[in-house]
Structure 1
């Protein structure tokens, strides 16, 4: 009797502070993985950059190391039937399409250098057309304003742009351009609908680039990537080199969309929250975009091949895990990130301390560009444990503000919150989250749902699965649920204190601060 070979899927997970590569079995369990951190570049206050070639190299290193583990465990690379990519969104990269040379460092999604550009664009007569077309408010967040800044400050990029050879891409596009090839060995310049919906070039109603939007940002000569569905059998080619050369790339999603897929939140009304460098909550609204009236983003959640798109409401928090990193690396309050939960729960409350972690302004649902990180309520009583607790609570309070906005926009109360990402590993953090929102928090045992989502999309691209019902056995073991241990009155009192702190953090940056520019 000939035994049927096993089928594995793989995923590149290129994040803000590290790159990871996973190989998953049929149950969604990782059988091999590797992670590599890389340097963050902070040229000025509020600026965040990455070296594009370091991103590419980190992916190559992770693929090589994880594949070696996979082979050492007795598996065969030919049993990896498909690969997916998931990536940090909005991060903007430009390069010369003739040579492949990146012409500026990648400007990361959390970078706030474009505040002055955003203020100017908001004064334009046509500015009120942006939100209905893109689902995004004019802010420092999307890619378009980052590209505009590069062209204003990089002579090399401007010259290539004027010559008509300046290519743009988010990180997925850059990786595919450098690591994959088409059926005839050609270079690829392609993205998926979820990443395209974060650029401010895409009309989310038509899923096509909008000439008005491109003109609005003055980027008519920019070379934009082709747009494909998130799960696609042909658009993303095959890996062009390395130990997995020839493996088909059939999935591509922005990281938060990938996490929604990885949590199997395929039905309207399902929600997930991912705690990474930032924190991102997505709420599945079905096949029609829902316009938010309460400070949320409307985005493309995912689109599988030959299927209609699925949309989501999104609440984006700029600072979550990076606040823990700040306590460790900048203030030295903790030695290791995993210490923060135990320290936070060693005190009954934050001792009156409220930390508004607006390191680059506040994102949803507030959208305050001129706020900065502010700690209120420090007294002689304050200890590091109180600051640790206030740091975690900052993410939890912002999650509550986003949940409240989602319920107002949808008219439906969220009864359960699926969670994943770094901070979700802490029982203490997730208990605080449940206590603040008053809703059950559901955490799977295998919490690499972002990478898993990319692998699921890739599996659909090669017909490993044909319906969502076939995923019932994937990542279903040992979920843990956290229930609120606070009263409604306690939750209301604490949240009102947070809201007061948000109001008081506004207006710290002056117009002079915002308009300050740095040239090459």
Structure 2
């Protein structure tokens, strides 16, 4: 019999089911979107039951579309949107409130109150994360404080407080398993990345009872079994779980200290494997890459709010392009001596500046600046922001970076990839495979189940390589112009 590995990638916009063969090749994909529930305050929610039902349906659709024998699908891996948090009733499995999405900052007042207690540095020391409503803790605390009876039920241990991975595992195993993996736990802001346990002191600050938290399990550990509500005749073992960015790091084969990847999405996650000991940084955050085979790897991570979203802004808001595909020809045809810079601080600047009050600016225009030059400035801003984070990571870790592995839709733009290599001054590797988050989780499950060999499975991913071509003097002039533009908008 053939052997197949099933991957689920539950992301912000929708849920994908992915089927991989015994060689690790992606042979079929199905997906379903879910609603983005956004109110006039900008608060963002998802319906947890819609996400779960879509997860089950995408798998059913995948099996039908692929035509494979269900009995030949052996194991399941899950990757998920990370900081999104929710609470559900431990007995009934019903959510007490919608999932609060990672983009939602409604927990800002909770973080402000904790900061006034002088606890921000302690939280950073214990969890590796800046005190922020971006992470799961403030979202869970908000639900406990604002849903009638939730805090009391939580104190009695009647609720489960978790992230999307733990929600799906709970539902897929019919409530038998309440688990999360180390990568997801490390993004909650209540997990101690040194003791590798839920942090009692931090949990108390947020008012989150530790008895409501999931059992933290190795990323390649066993998370129970599921038959997808009776769809499979024999249950599948769940034995690979990773947050989406961590899944992409693993899927890129960044298994060694010093290897780094960037995902070009709406925003960007730049993540560097720093090995088996945590590295402290003032400019980026420290998290766990994963724990596999009982061994932990740590990462430095920088998140940027506006990378691919800059292209969307050019298309939907400025309406100066009809499709993202136009940006390459426009950028390549722009006046090479134009000095226009776009600093896309539409919601402040993230790593490495951490200035939430900064405002976006177009800087350095001349009378000859036209559409092509503005579009090129938009693409270039993606590269400059990512380079800022790469340089910060290299400085803080003391680890020289030899190459950058990249994924996401914008990586199809060869101008963007060449400019990234030129400005960062390192080779850029673009894989032939897409769906790197799902690949990472599926490969983790396949390796855990003995279907894949960790030493050979990544060799099937071909890569296109971009080498730096820009002269050092030109690079320095272009990059210093960017730094000058950024300095104009910083408020601290």
- State if a TM-score over 0.5 links the two structures: yes
Residue 212 of structure 1, CA deviation: 0.6
Q: Is the deviation greater in 86-95 or in 321-330?
A: 321-330
Aligned residues of 2:341 and 2:363 also touching (Cα < 8 A): yes
Aligned counterpart, 1:363: 350
Aligned counterpart, 1:203: 192
Given candidates 179, 190, 203, the residue that maps to 2:179 is: 190
Residues of 1 paired with 2:488 and 2:288: CA distance?
Answer: 34
Secondary structure of the structure 2 residue equivalent to 1:316:
strand
Residues of 2 paired with 1:45 and 1:384: CA distance?
Answer: 33
Aligned counterpart, 2:283: 295
Aligned counterpart, 2:464: 480
Residue 107 of structure 1, CA deviation: 2.1
Q: Does 1:438 align with 2:425?
A: yes
Aligned counterpart, 1:429: 416
Aligned counterpart, 1:414: 401
Aligned counterpart, 1:22: 18
Residue 428 of structure 1, CA deviation: 2.4
Residues of 2 paired with 1:222 and 1:153: CA distance?
Answer: 20
Instruction: Give 1:232-251 correspondences, 5 Å limit.
Output: 232=221, 234-241=222-229, 243-244=231-232, 246-251=235-240
Residues of 1 paired with 2:106 and 2:358: CA distance?
Answer: 14
Aligned residues of 2:379 and 2:416 also touching (Cα < 8 A): yes
Residues of 1 paired with 2:215 and 2:381: CA distance?
Answer: 39
Residues of 2 paired with 1:327 and 1:157: CA distance?
Answer: 43
Aligned counterpart, 2:61: 65
Residues of 2 paired with 1:59 and 1:343: CA distance?
Answer: 40
Q: Does 1:500 align with 2:487?
A: no
Residue 403 of structure 1, CA deviation: 0.9
Secondary structure of the structure 1 residue equivalent to 2:488:
helix
Instruction: Give 1:86-165 correspondences, 5 Å limit.
Output: 86-155=79-148, 157-158=150-151, 160-161=153-154, 164-165=157-158
Aligned residues of 1:103 and 1:156 also touching (Cα < 8 A): no
Aligned residues of 2:203 and 2:210 also touching (Cα < 8 A): no
Q: Deviations over 1:233-289 (max 9, x none)?
A: x32432432644622211000011111111111111111111122211211111111
Q: Deviations over 1:148-198 (max 9, x none)?
A: 2333444464564466433211111122222x11xxx54332110000000
Cα pair distance change 1:50/1:156, threshold 3 Å: farther
Instruction: Give 1:202-351 correspondences, 5 Å limit.
Output: 202-220=191-209, 223-232=212-221, 234-241=222-229, 243-244=231-232, 246-292=235-281, 294-305=282-293, 307-348=294-335, 351=338
Q: Deviations over 1:29-86 (max 9, x none)?
A: 2111013333333324653332223322332332222221211xxx322222111000
Residue 438 of structure 1, CA deviation: 1.5
Residue 351 of structure 1, CA deviation: 4.1
Secondary structure of the structure 1 residue equivalent to 2:119:
helix
Aligned counterpart, 2:161: 168
Q: Does 1:78 align with 2:50?
A: no
Residue 130 of structure 1, CA deviation: 1.2
Residues of 2 paired with 1:114 and 1:350: CA distance?
Answer: 45
Secondary structure of the structure 1 residue equivalent to 2:32:
strand
User: Between Structure 1 and Structure 2, how many residues are aligned?
Assistant: 491
Cα pair distance change 1:382/1:115, threshold 3 Å: farther
Residues of 2 paired with 1:41 and 1:376: CA distance?
Answer: 35
Aligned residues of 1:110 and 1:318 also touching (Cα < 8 A): no
Secondary structure of the structure 2 residue equivalent to 1:309:
strand
Cα pair distance change 1:337/1:163, threshold 3 Å: farther
Where in structure 2 are there 5+ consecutive unaligned residues? none
Aligned residues of 1:440 and 1:482 also touching (Cα < 8 A): yes
Cα pair distance change 1:453/1:376, threshold 3 Å: same
Q: Deviations over 1:373-398 (max 9, x none)?
A: 44444565443333332222222111
Where in structure 1 are there 5+ consecutive unaligned residues? 509-520
Secondary structure of the structure 1 residue equivalent to 2:209:
coil
Aligned residues of 1:52 and 1:106 also touching (Cα < 8 A): yes
Aligned counterpart, 2:389: 402
